[in-house]
């Protein structure tokens, strides 16, 4: 059986179908994590998208 740490509180949790909140230990930890995403506390790094209207190749000649 696989045991993981809850991403919110670090409590050890069994990764089984019986645990409907996996990888979280409880509904509370699951909701805390969802709230953090909603408040944009987590970000995925990446380059800013370029504006096709500002590219040199799209400028009138």
Enumerate the known binding-site residues for Zn(2+): 6, 9, 25, 29
- Pairing between strand 3-5 and 12-14? antiparallel
Q: Say if CB 23 and CB 29 are below 8 A apart.
A: no
Q: How far is CA 19 from the centre of its chain?
A: 20
């Amino acid at each position: 059986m696989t045991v993981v740490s809850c991403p919110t509180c670090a409590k050890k949790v069994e990764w089984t179908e019986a645990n409907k909140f996996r990888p979280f230990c409880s509904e509370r930890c699951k909701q805390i994590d969802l709230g953090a995403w909603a408040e944009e506390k987590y970000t995925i790094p990446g380059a800013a998208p370029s504006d096709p209207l500002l590219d040199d190749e799209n400028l009138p000649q």
